[in-house]
Structure 1
Amino acid sequence: MVFLGITVTLFIAALDQTIVTTTLPSIAKEFNNFADISWIGTAYLLTTTAVQPLYGVAADLFGRKRAMMFACSVFLLGSALCGAAQSMTMLIVARAVQGLGGSGIIALSMILVADIVPLRQRGTYQALIALIFAIAAVVGPLLGGAFSDKVTWRWAFYINLPVGALSMILIIFFMHMKRRKGIPFATNLKSLDYIGIFLLMASIVMILLGLNWGADAKYPWNSSVILALLIIGIVIGAIFIFHEARYAKKPIIPLRLFGTPSLAVTYLQVFIQGFIFLGLLFFLPLYFQAVHGSSAVKSGIDLLPYAIVGAFAAIVVGLLMSRWGTYKEFIVAGWIVGCISAGLLITFDEYTSRGKVIGILLLQGISMGMTVNTLLLGVHAQLINKSDLALSTSLWTFLRTFGGVFGIAVGGTFVQSSLSQANASEYAQNIKAIAGLPPNIKAPVLRAFVQGLQHFFILITIISGIGLVASLFIK
C-alpha cells in the first residue's frame, strides 16, 4: 500500500508535466492572451528546478512523510488555484505554486523507494516508476485535449484534486517511517542553510530565465539582458559552491556527493541524459507537426512507441539488475545504443517517412530505458556515506531536470537561428503553422526548420559519445 500511495502521487505530478501542452490554445483563447502563453510552462519549470535540491535536505531534517505531505498539499493547492484562475497572471502564479509541490513529489518518491526497497531489488521498482512516467507522457496530452474539446481546460488541473486526496490518504495511514528523535522541529528549522538556499535559487532562476528567454527569442542571445542573467547567475552559482564548501554547516549540496571520480562521471551522465531526453521530448512532436502535419494530440500518439519501448526496456533491465546484481554493463550498453540512434536522428529530413522515424525512436527509447533509472541505482550503490541517500537522490532529479532545460534551450537556439537565416523567424513560436503554408513558401521554411533540428541532433550524437566514454569510468 505504501508503494501504491507513492505511485499514485507520482503519477499526478508526472501527468501535470504533459497534460497542459494540449490545453494551451484553449487557455490563450479564453483569456485573450497569446503573448504570455509560454509562461504557463516557464513558471512551473522555474520553481520545479529551483527547489529540487532543497527537498533532500527537508527529507533528512523533517522526515520523509512530513516532507511528502507538504509537497502534496502545495501541489494540490496550486492545482486548485490553476483551475479557478480568472486571468493569465493568476494562472501563471498558480503554476509556479504547483511547481513547488510537484518538484518535491518527484524527488521524494525516488527517495522513499530507495528507503523501503533494498538496493538489489531497487531496479525492479524503479522500472515501474519509469512505466508511470511513460504512461503519463502519453496519457497527459490526450486527456488535456479531451478536456479542452469536451468539457473545459480547467479539468486538466481539477483532476489532480480527487487523485491527490486519495494518495494523501494512503500516505497518512500506510506510510510508517522512523522519526528523528531528540531534535525539535524549531531546531531543525533554524539549522537550514538559508544563505545557501537564497544563493542556489537565485542562481538557478537567473540562468533558467536567460536560457528560456534566449531560446524563445524574447531577447537576442547577445543582448545585455540575456548576458547579464547568465553571467550573474553563473557568478552567484560559483559563490554558492564556495559557501557550501567553506561555511555551510549543513550544506544543501555537499561536495562529498562528488567525492569520487566514478560518482562525478555518473552525475555527468545524469545531466546528459536529461539534456537528450527532454530535448527530444520537446522537439520531436514539433517535427511531427511541421513535417507530417500532425495535430498536437496526434504528435503525442506518434511518441507512444518511444515511451512504451523505453518503459519496457527499463522494466527488463530492472529485473536483470535485481537478478545479477550489476548495473555498469547496462549503462554502457544503453549509451552504445544511444550513440547509434542519435546518429540516425541526423538523417531526419522533410521527406523521412513516419515508419523510419518511429523505428529510430524505438532505438532511442531502448537507450533511455537502459540508462535513466540505472544511473540513479549507480549513484546509490557508489555512495560513501549511505546517510546521503536523500541528498544524492534530490541531486539526481535536479541534474536531470537542469540538463533538460539546457537541451530545450540549445535545441530552440538551433531552430531559431536556422529559421532566422531563412527570414522565417516568425514561425519559431508556431512551428505547427508550417504544415499549412502554401507549397512555394512551405518548402524553404520547412528546410530551415529541419536543418536546425539536424544541427541539434548532431550535438546530441556528440554528447551521447561523451556519455558513453564517461560510463566506462563507472566502478
Structure 2
Amino acid sequence: MFGIMKTSNSSTETQHSPPRNDVNPTPFKPSFRIYAIVFGLGIANLLAALENTVLTIAAPVIFTDLQLGDNFIWVTNAFFLSSTAMQPLFGQFCNVFGRRYVMLTAVGIFVLGSGICGGASTGAMLIGGRAVQGVGSGGIIMVSSIVISDLVPLRERGNFSAILMSIFGVGSALGPFVGGVIVSSTSWRWVFYINLPIGGVAFGLLFIFLRVKYNKEMTLWEKLKKIDLIGNGILIASTVSILYALSYAGTRYPWRSWHTLVPLLIGFLGLFIFAWVQNTSICPEPLMPMRFFRTPTSIILAINTFFYSALLYWSIFFLPVLFQSVKLYSPKRAGVALLPISLLGIPGSIVGAVALTRWGRYKPLHIFAFALQTLGLGLFTLLNEKTTVAEWAVFECILSFGGGMIFTSLLPAFQAFIHERDLAACTAAWYFIRLFGNIWGVAIPAAIFNQRIDSLLAKGAISDPQVSKIISAGGAYQAASASFVHQFPESLQSEIRTLYSQAIQRVFQVSIAFSGVAFLLSLLEKEIPLRKTLETDFGLEKEQTVREGESENAERTSG
C-alpha cells in the first residue's frame, strides 16, 4: 500500500502547499443550480469535442472544394494553435472579469468561428474561422474546469470532471460519424452550421444559471493592469514559432533544414525567456507563476500531463493509418474502429473520479493508470494485417481505460499544491501543458514514422520505384488509405502493407519509452490530503443577490 505523506514543516512537498481548511467541514451537497450549470457546460463541451474530430471524415470534401493544396494542415493547426496559446490568457480574464462573462464570451467566439467556417468561400477564410473556433473551444474547455473547481471542493471535483469527460468522449466519438452523415446527405457547410443552434442553447442555459461572484469594485484600468501582456505576447509568439516548424517538418522541409530548425529554436528560446520573465518584477501579475512548479510532485504532474496528452494523440493519429493502410478499412470503418479509444475512456474516468472522491488518493491511481497505458501501447506493437477485430478492440480498451483514469485525477492532484486564489491561473497552466502535449503528440510520431518509412525504402522494401517515390519524404501519411493500396497488384499490395505495418510498429515501440518514463515518475509522487471544503471568491451568487442585480438592471433600463 502507498502511504499518504505526513505533513511537517521540514517537508519539501508541503512547504508550498496550501493550508488545510477541512477542519469540521460542512458536507458538500450540490444544488439544482450546480447541476444546471454543469448541464450547460456539458452542452458547450459537446460542441468543442465535436469540432476536434468532425473533420476526420469531412476534410477531403472540404479541402477539394476550397482547393487548399498543401496548406490543408493549417485547418487543424490553426485550431490547435489558437486553442493552446490562449489558455493562460483566459485564466487571467477569469480572475479580473469573472467566470460568467468569460465563459459566455468563449461560447460566443466559438459560435462566431463556426459561422465563419460554414460561410467560407476560400481556404484562407476557413483557416481564419478555425482559428477563431480554436479560441472559443480552448476557452470553453478550460473555463469549464475553473467553474467546476469554484463550485465543488477538491476532493469531489473528479465526479463532476468525469461528467464533462463523458460528454466530451461521446462528442469526440460521434464527430467522425456526424461528419460522414453530413457530407453524405447535405453540404459540408453544415458541419459548422450545426454548432449555431446548439451553441445558442448552451449560451442560454449558462446566461440563466451561471451567476457567480467576482470582484466588481476594480475599475477597467485596474483590471487591464492585472493582465500579463508581456508574458502573453512571448508565449503566443513562441507557440506559433514551434507549431510552424512542426507543421512542415519532414514534409515540405527536412528536419535538418534551417526552415525547420530556426523557428523551432526561436520558439524554445522564447519559452525559456517566458519562464524567466515570469519570475521577475517585469510581470507583477505573472501569467504562469513559477510557484506552481516549486515542489517535485508538481513538476512530475506537469511532465506526466504532457506525456499523457501527447500519447493520446499519438494513438488517435496513427491507429487510423494502420486501419486504412494495413487492415485496408474504409475511412468510415476506420472511424468506427476508433470508438473504443473514445468510449472506454468514459468508464475509466468514472472509476478514477469515484476512487479519488472516496479515498482522496491520486498516487495509486496514477501508478495503475500509467501501467495500463504502457501495457496498451506495448500491445499496439503487435498489430499487423492479421490482427483480429477482437484483438485490436481489447488493446484499445486497455489504453483508453487507463487514459480515462489519468484524465480525471491529474488536474485535482496538480491543484492540491496551490492556494484557491491561484485556481484560475493554475488550471490555465495545466491546460496549456496538456494542449502543448497534443501538438508534440502528432509531431514526434510523424517524424518517427517518416524516418522508418524512408529507412525501409532505402533497404528495398518496395520493388516499384514509382510507389517508393510517392510514399517517401513524408508522403506515406497522406497516401495511407485502402484505395491507394488497392490500385496495385497483390504482390505489391503485400509489400506496401508490410512496410506500413513495420513503420507503425516502430512508432508504438518508441511510445512505450515515453509512457514508461511517466509510469516511473508516478512512483516518485508524494501525496497531500485533498481539501474537502471551498475557500473561493468566485462561488455561486445567492439568489437574493441575483434578484437585486436584476432589479437594478431593470431600473437603469427604465430610467
SS in 2 for 1:85: coil
SS in 1 for 2:249: helix
SS in 1 for 2:256: coil
Bigger CA drift: 132-141 or 418-427?
418-427
Aligned counterpart in structure 2 of residue 436 of structure 1, from 483, 486, 496: 486
SS in 2 for 1:22: helix
- Counterpart for residue 161 of structure 2: 126
Bigger CA drift: 70-79 or 435-444?
435-444
Deviations 1:21-75 (A, max 9, x none): 2111111222234432222111111111111121111111211111111211111
On the 8 A contact 2:373/2:399 being kept in 1, the answer is yes
1:192 aligns with 2:223: no
On the 8 A contact 2:173/2:343 being kept in 1, the answer is no
Matching residue's letter, 1:430: A
In the alignment, the residues of structure 2 paired with residue 96 and residue 181 of structure 1 have an alpha-carbon distance, to the nearest angstrom, of 31
Q: 1:354–1:442: structure 2 CA closer, same or farther, 3 Å change rule?
A: same
In the alignment, the residues of structure 1 paired with residue 105 and residue 476 of structure 2 have an alpha-carbon distance, to the nearest angstrom, of 42
- Counterpart for residue 247 of structure 2: 212
Aligned counterpart in structure 2 of residue 245 of structure 1, from 279, 298, 312: 279
Aligned counterpart in structure 1 of residue 447 of structure 2, from 397, 403, 413: 413
- Counterpart for residue 7 of structure 2: none
Aligned counterpart in structure 2 of residue 357 of structure 1, from 385, 389, 392: 392
SS in 2 for 1:321: helix
1:267 aligns with 2:297: no
Specify every segment of 5 or more residues in structure 2 that has no aligned partner in the other structure, as ranges: 1-35, 458-467, 527-559
Matching residue's letter, 2:265: I
Aligned counterpart in structure 1 of residue 503 of structure 2, from 432, 438, 452: 452
- Counterpart for residue 381 of structure 2: 346
Matching residue's letter, 2:511: I
Identity of paired residues, percent?
Answer: 32
SS in 1 for 2:56: coil
In the alignment, the residues of structure 2 paired with residue 112 and residue 435 of structure 1 have an alpha-carbon distance, to the nearest angstrom, of 49
On the 8 A contact 1:23/1:145 being kept in 2, the answer is yes
Matching residue's letter, 1:141: P
Aligned counterpart in structure 1 of residue 74 of structure 2, from 24, 39, 47: 39
In the alignment, the residues of structure 2 paired with residue 185 and residue 450 of structure 1 have an alpha-carbon distance, to the nearest angstrom, of 58
Larger Rg: 2
1:320 aligns with 2:352: no
- Counterpart for residue 427 of structure 2: 393
- Counterpart for residue 476 of structure 2: 427
SS in 2 for 1:431: coil
In the alignment, the residues of structure 1 paired with residue 256 and residue 392 of structure 2 have an alpha-carbon distance, to the nearest angstrom, of 35
1:180 aligns with 2:215: yes
On the 8 A contact 1:380/1:389 being kept in 2, the answer is yes
TM-score when normalising by structure 1: 0.96
In the alignment, the residues of structure 2 paired with residue 202 and residue 465 of structure 1 have an alpha-carbon distance, to the nearest angstrom, of 32
Report the CA distance between 1:128 and its aligned residue: 1.3
Query: Pairwise mapping of residues 256-335 of structure 1 onto structure 2 (< 5 A)?
Result: 256-335=291-370
Bigger CA drift: 241-250 or 303-312?
303-312
In the alignment, the residues of structure 1 paired with residue 227 and residue 429 of structure 2 have an alpha-carbon distance, to the nearest angstrom, of 17
1:6 aligns with 2:56: no
Query: Pairwise mapping of residues 110-121 of structure 1 onto structure 2 (< 5 A)?
Result: 110-121=145-156
- Counterpart for residue 254 of structure 1: 289
Bigger CA drift: 432-441 or 70-79?
432-441
- Counterpart for residue 102 of structure 2: 67
1:466 aligns with 2:527: no
Report the CA distance between 1:352 and its aligned residue: 2.1
Bigger CA drift: 267-276 or 350-359?
350-359
Aligned counterpart in structure 1 of residue 88 of structure 2, from 53, 68, 76: 53
Matching residue's letter, 2:499: A
Matching residue's letter, 2:299: A
SS in 2 for 1:376: helix
In the alignment, the residues of structure 2 paired with residue 443 and residue 437 of structure 1 have an alpha-carbon distance, to the nearest angstrom, of 12
Query: Structure 1 residue runs of 4+, over 4 Å off?
Result: none
Deviations 1:138-191 (A, max 9, x none): 100100111111011111101111111111111111111112132112321133
Aligned counterpart in structure 1 of residue 128 of structure 2, from 64, 71, 93: 93
- Counterpart for residue 404 of structure 1: 438
Matching residue's letter, 2:270: I
SS in 1 for 2:344: helix
Deviations 1:418-438 (A, max 9, x none): 223323323332211444242
Report the CA distance between 1:412 and its aligned residue: 0.9
Aligned counterpart in structure 1 of residue 269 of structure 2, from 230, 235, 239: 235
More helix by share: 1
Specify every segment of 5 or more residues in structure 1 that has no aligned partner in the other structure, as ranges: none
In the alignment, the residues of structure 1 paired with residue 48 and residue 524 of structure 2 have an alpha-carbon distance, to the nearest angstrom, of 34
Aligned counterpart in structure 2 of residue 150 of structure 1, from 172, 176, 185: 185
1:170 aligns with 2:205: yes
SS in 2 for 1:21: helix
SS in 1 for 2:498: helix
Report the CA distance between 1:317 and its aligned residue: 2.1
Report the CA distance between 1:464 and its aligned residue: 1.1
Report the CA distance between 1:88 and its aligned residue: 1.1
In the alignment, the residues of structure 2 paired with residue 312 and residue 434 of structure 1 have an alpha-carbon distance, to the nearest angstrom, of 37
On the 8 A contact 2:485/2:496 being kept in 1, the answer is no
Query: Pairwise mapping of residues 22-33 of structure 1 onto structure 2 (< 5 A)?
Result: 22-33=57-68
Report the CA distance between 1:320 and its aligned residue: 2.3
How many pairs are equivalent?
473
Deviations 1:391-413 (A, max 9, x none): 11112211111112111111111
In the alignment, the residues of structure 2 paired with residue 336 and residue 347 of structure 1 have an alpha-carbon distance, to the nearest angstrom, of 18
Bigger CA drift: 82-91 or 422-431?
422-431
In the alignment, the residues of structure 1 paired with residue 390 and residue 326 of structure 2 have an alpha-carbon distance, to the nearest angstrom, of 13
1:135 aligns with 2:170: yes
